[in-house]
């Protein structure tokens, strides 16, 4: 008899053809996606080079992007492990192999190296975890390539493995041992032989299936083989052959000429197992890529929600937060599709997320976009943040949707003042709430440092210009360093702005040098204040420059709270790092004596600001009480800025949530302030289209708008707020109606979330629901998320899902090319209900100057009290036809908006008589924070 040759070359070709089609299918699903293989080689052994060329050729044929990473022979173990760690973390690499043997002059533990390759990328199947899986019959990892090729060849021969006697010659980690395990799990009865086995030829003659991987040329003779057996030869050995030009030829561990006379099937050498090893490597790589792609396009994250232990009565916020053990932030990051190199952990409960996520997901369609705002609130707040978190807990932990909350980072001013934190409340919170409310990852401090560096540079420049003549001033600005004088990059930008097309500092004329060196800032027209992230009323007006060293050059200035800095607004509105840099450069800090703007770039400080803000560009990942993800980023003041979290956080969240997911983000205060700015400023800057607006209402606030007595923090509520009073409630519903109307004017469905409080009656809640639906709300629902977590917001979640499915019809309230006074009037009339807008003469003069400089094409960011739809905080309800008076106006060029001031809006809050400070302490034994809400 003559055995049938099992051609590994033909089988490998068929496998590669199938893999090529699989890769094409993946790229049809995701056009920007391509499987990637990293082949790491230390040194340059020629036999290794031959194998690598085979792998590169096969990869190219299939459509795999294979990178050959050549490392020098003196690469040491630590360097190699660091390289593998980088490849493990890279989301662009799906498979990693380390070419063996290592050709290194240094001592390297090969086993340690193969185990350093992530089991998820170990397409060679040599990591101990993958080997262990094979040993217990778990084929969910990666099967070693040569053993996998052996099994594939046997199956392709048409021979059934089940029930057969199989003998494996060789017990190596790479071939013999895993082949034996695979045969066992294919239901063969397996005997493993090795160099110490006695009566070897007698044992091999019992084999229905004989696999030889012993490393000795032609060891197995025809007499060792059972007639009709299947013989798989894994050996490849060079032997002398004078008939060959190379002087040698390759043979296997089996005498092929003898085996074909006895066996039913036999593999040749070469052309047998060798090509299959490469084919199986390619198959593992495609499998690794497909697993990642399936994870990317899966309709839902593999999220593990946290269970709540609901108590009645509801404990304090901090007691609830401490009772819940959060997931490790690395686990949450992995669940939502992030890679380790995209996550910078700050301890175990929070982490910065790299902006590189946006590039990786550039072709990924984003989730539905939801804004959460409120009606005109009481000073106690109506639970907007709590509702936001209850909504995403309901969507994510209960409805199985990919759901993100995006929130502002709270300022320490309110935390130590009277309002308290902004982590939500009850069973709808961000945890750990202490971290959320205190420092977090330091972004506000970075903004503070950057803001104050700019202020320091501005005042220093004013001083130096006042105390130096033109020549010395220019020479100090462009000094000789080691005999060479040159402009810095930012100085070249200033020259270009001035129309001076020269790059040699010595080539400037005296007039050009003066023009370059002197900013001539008008100290009466400075727009830039210093900031601090605390409530400090005594910094509202200060005098600086009183030291004798400042030579009498004093001036009056102010401190603002850090979140009121234009830098914070820039951080929140930048679409990417380049956009943020351009916005920072364009910030106007003052006017010169000719009335021209002086920018941060003119002061040479843009690059330094970028360095200080480097880490602050990245949003912070946290979680809700129920283990759903939250991105916290930026915290612009809602009164004088736009009061929304960052565009970058929202964009990352929408990409991670995917097409079927949901991203809910907050807007400060009511629809008249935060929501209008969210739509007209933030969405205009980002280009993102919102799908739904959730407006939070409470019976308490509506009673106040109906004429109820004042609500004050720290004082007991009047009886009308804790007892049923339908008449008072009905009078205040007009405020809710106005906010619904405001949302509808932007063309988005408005869902009313009625935040239930303990004293609300069913009659009161039903009255609010019925009024809302009759007056244009898409749906109105009662929520009990404060007391029940996500389970208390399920009806809200369902309403939001339905609203997001409605055909999109979003529109801005005004076009940017509308004259500035017309934009202001549109907001005043449409959002507030005003009948007329009045301006001071000074404001009208500023509007004229802004128009001359082209600033009138910017968006409008109205600075108005949040306590009333009007400019008077004492007026409640929904009045109409009133006059809105604009008593000041300024421009935030970097942020990209004009700020008309309605009434007196303080940018530096003060501490009350009894601030929260009195209740806050640190337990020196346990390290726990006490008294924080």
- Quote the tokens at residue 299: 């309709």
Tokens for 880, please give them: 């109409």
The sign one gets for the Cα dihedral 475, 479, 480, 486 is: negative
Nearest Cα to Cα of residue 700 among 630, 765, 625:
765
Give the distance between the most distant pair of CA atoms in the chain.
111
Please state, in angstroms and as integers, the Cα–Cα distance from residue 37 to each residue in 26, 90, 102, 277, 890, following that order.
Answer: 16, 12, 19, 15, 55
Q: Is 124 a catalytic residue?
A: yes
99 in catalytic set: yes
Q: What is the DSSP letter of 631?
A: E
Lookup: tokens for 564: 């009121």
The beta strand positions in 360-432, using DSSP E, are: 368-374, 403-407, 424-425, 428-431
Can you say how many angstroms the Cα of residue 798 is from the centroid of all Cα atoms in its chain?
Answer: 26
Per the CB < 8 A criterion, the answer to whether 279 and 287 are in contact is no
The residue among 394, 353, 933 whose CA lies nearest residue 653 is 353
The span from the CA of 168 to the CA of 179, in Å, is: 8
Closest CA to 367 of 629, 649, 650, 663: 663
Cα separation, 410 vs 571, whole angstroms: 15
Closest Cα to residue 579, out of 897, 355, 894, 899? 894
116's enclosing H/E stretch is helix 110-116
780, 752 contact by CB (below 8 A)? yes
Report the run of H or E that residue 669 belongs to, with start and end.
strand 662-670
Contact between 751 and 779 (Cβ < 8 Å): yes
> Shortest CA distance to 555 belongs to which of 469, 463, 449?
463
Q: What pairing do the DSSP bridges indicate for beta strands 597-599 and 588-592?
A: antiparallel
Q: With beta carbons less than 8 A apart as the criterion, state whether 455 and 544 touch.
A: no
Neighbours of 299 (CB within 10 A): 11
**41, 55, 443, 601: which is the annotated catalytic residue?**
55
Catalytic residue (choose from 103, 122, 124, 672): 124
Give yes or no for a contact between 228 and 210, defined as CB atoms under 8 angstroms apart: no
Look at residues 352, 334, 286, 407 and name the one whose alpha carbon lies nearest to residue 21.
286
Q: Which two tokens stand for residue 864?
A: 């108005």
With tokens 């607006």, the residue in question is: 693
Q: What angle do CA 431, 437, 438 make, to 5 degrees?
A: 115
- Outline where DSSP puts E strands in 732-801: 750-755, 779-783
Distance, CA of 933 to CA of 419 (rounded, Å): 10
Which residue among the candidates 99, 393, 429, 623 is catalytic per the annotation?
99
> How many residues are there in the chain?
933
Q: Which two tokens stand for residue 262?
A: 């006895």
Question: Burial of 698 by CB count in 10 Å (0-12 exposed, 13-18 middle, 19+ buried)?
Answer: buried
What CA–CA distance (Å, rounded) separates 812 from 682?
A: 11
Residues known to be catalytic: 55, 99, 124
């Amino acid at each position: 008899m003559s055995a049938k040759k099992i051609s590994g070359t033909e089988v490998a070709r068929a496998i590669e053809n199938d893999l090529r089609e699989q890769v094409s299918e993946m790229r049809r699903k995701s056009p920007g996606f391509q499987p990637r293989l990293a082949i790491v080689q230390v040194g340059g052994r020629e036999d290794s080079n031959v194998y690598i060329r085979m792998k590169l050729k096969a990869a190219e044929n299939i459509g795999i992007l294979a990178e050959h990473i050549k490392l020098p022979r003196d690469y040491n173990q630590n360097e190699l492990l660091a390289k593998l760690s980088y490849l493990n973390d890279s989301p662009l690499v799906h498979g990693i192999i380390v070419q063996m043997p290592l050709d290194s002059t240094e001592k390297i533990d090969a086993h340690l190296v193969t185990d350093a390759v992530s089991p998820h990328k170990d397409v060679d199947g040599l990591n101990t975890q993958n080997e262990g899986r094979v040993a217990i019959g778990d084929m969910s990892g990666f099967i070693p390539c040569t053993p996998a090729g052996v099994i594939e060849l046997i199956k392709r021969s048409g021979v059934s493995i089940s029930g057969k006697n199989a003998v494996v010659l060789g017990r190596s980690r790479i071939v013999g041992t895993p082949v034996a395990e695979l045969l066992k799990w294919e239901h063969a009865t397996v005997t493993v032989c090795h160099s110490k086995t006695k009566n070897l030829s007698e044992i091999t003659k019992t084999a229905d299936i004989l696999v030889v991987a012993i490393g000795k040329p032609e060891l197995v003779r025809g007499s060792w083989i059972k007639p009709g057996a299947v013989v798989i030869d894994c050996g490849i050995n060079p032997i002398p052959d004078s008939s060959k030009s190379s002087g040698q030829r390759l043979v296997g561990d089996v005498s092929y000429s003898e085996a074909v006379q006895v066996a039913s099937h036999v593999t040749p050498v070469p052309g047998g197992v060798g090509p299959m090893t490469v084919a199986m490597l390619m198959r593992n790589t495609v499998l690794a890529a497909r697993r990642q792609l399936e994870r990317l396009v899966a309709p839902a994250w593999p999220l593990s929600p946290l269970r709540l232990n609901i108590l009645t009565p509801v404990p304090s916020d901090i007691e609830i937060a401490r009772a819940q053990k959060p997931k490790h932030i690395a686990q949450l990051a992995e669940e939502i599709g992030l890679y380790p190199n995209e996550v910078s952990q700050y301890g175990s409960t929070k982490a910065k997320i790299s902006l590189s996520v946006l590039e990786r997901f550039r072709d990924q369609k984003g989730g539905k976009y939801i804004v959460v705002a409120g009606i005109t609130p009481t000073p106690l707040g109506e639970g907007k943040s709590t509702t936001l978190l209850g909504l995403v807990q309901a969507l994510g932990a209960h409805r199985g949707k990919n759901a993100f909350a995006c929130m502002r980072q709270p300022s320490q001013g309110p935390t130590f003042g009277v309002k308290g934190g902004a982590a939500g409340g009850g069973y709808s919170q961000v945890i750990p709430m202490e971290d959320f409310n205190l420092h977090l990852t330091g972004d506000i401090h970075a903004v503070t440092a950057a803001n104050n560096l700019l202020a320091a540079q501005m005042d220093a420049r004013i001083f130096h210009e006042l105390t130096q003549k033109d020549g010395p001033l220019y020479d100090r600005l462009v000094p000789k360093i080691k005999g060479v004088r040159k402009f810095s990059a930012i100085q070249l930008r200033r020259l270009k702005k001035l129309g001076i097309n020269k790059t040699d500092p010595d080539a400037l004329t005296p007039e050009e040098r003066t023009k370059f060196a002197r900013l001539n800032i008008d100290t009466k027209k400075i727009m830039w204040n210093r900031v601090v992230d605390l409530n400090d009323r005594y910094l509202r007006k200060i005098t600086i420059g009183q030291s004798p060293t400042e030579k009498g050059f004093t001036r009056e200035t102010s401190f603002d709270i850090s979140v009121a800095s234009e830098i914070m607004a820039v951080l929140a509105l930048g679409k990417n790092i380049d956009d943020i840099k351009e916005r920072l450069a364009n910030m106007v800090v003052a006017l010169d004596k000719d009335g021209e703007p002086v920018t941060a770039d003119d002061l040479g400080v843009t690059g330094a600001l970028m360095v200080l803000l480097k880490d602050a560009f990245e949003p912070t990942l946290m979680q809700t009480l129920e283990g759903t993800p939250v991105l916290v980023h930026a915290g612009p003041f809602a009164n004088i800025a736009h009061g929304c979290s960052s565009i970058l956080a929202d964009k990352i969240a929408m990409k991670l949530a995917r097409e079927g997911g949901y991203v809910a983000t907050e807007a400060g205060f009511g629809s008249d302030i935060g929501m209008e700015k969210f739509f007209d400023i933030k969405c205009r800057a980002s280009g993102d289209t919102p799908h739904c607006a959730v407006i939070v209402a409470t019976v308490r606030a509506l009673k106040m708008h109906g004429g109820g007595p004042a609500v004050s923090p720290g004082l007991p509520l009047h009886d009308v707020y804790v007892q049923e009073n339908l008449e008072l409630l009905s009078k205040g519903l007009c405020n809710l109606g106005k906010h619904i109307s405001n949302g509808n004017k932007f063309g988005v469905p408005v869902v009313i979330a009625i935040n239930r409080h303990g004293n609300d009656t069913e009659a009161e809640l039903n009255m609010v629901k019925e009024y809302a639906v009759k007056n244009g709300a898409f749906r109105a629902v009662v929520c009990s998320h404060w007391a029940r977590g996500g389970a208390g917001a399920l009806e809200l979640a369902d309403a939001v899902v339905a609203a997001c499915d409605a055909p999109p019809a979003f529109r801005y309230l005004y076009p940017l090319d509308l004259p500035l006074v017309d934009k202001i009037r549109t907001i005043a009339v449409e959002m507030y209900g005003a009948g007329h807008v009045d301006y001071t003469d000074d404001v009208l003069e500023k509007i004229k100057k802004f128009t001359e400089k082209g600033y009138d094409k910017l968006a409008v960011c109205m600075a108005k009290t949040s306590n009333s739809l009007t400019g008077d905080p004492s007026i409640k309800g929904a009045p109409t036809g009133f006059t809105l008076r604009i008593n000041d106006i300024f421009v935030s060029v970097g942020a990209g908006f004009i700020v008309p001031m309605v009434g007196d809006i303080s940018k530096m809050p003060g501490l009350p008589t009894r601030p929260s400070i009195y209740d806050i302490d640190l337990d020196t034994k346990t390290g726990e924070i006490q008294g924080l809400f």
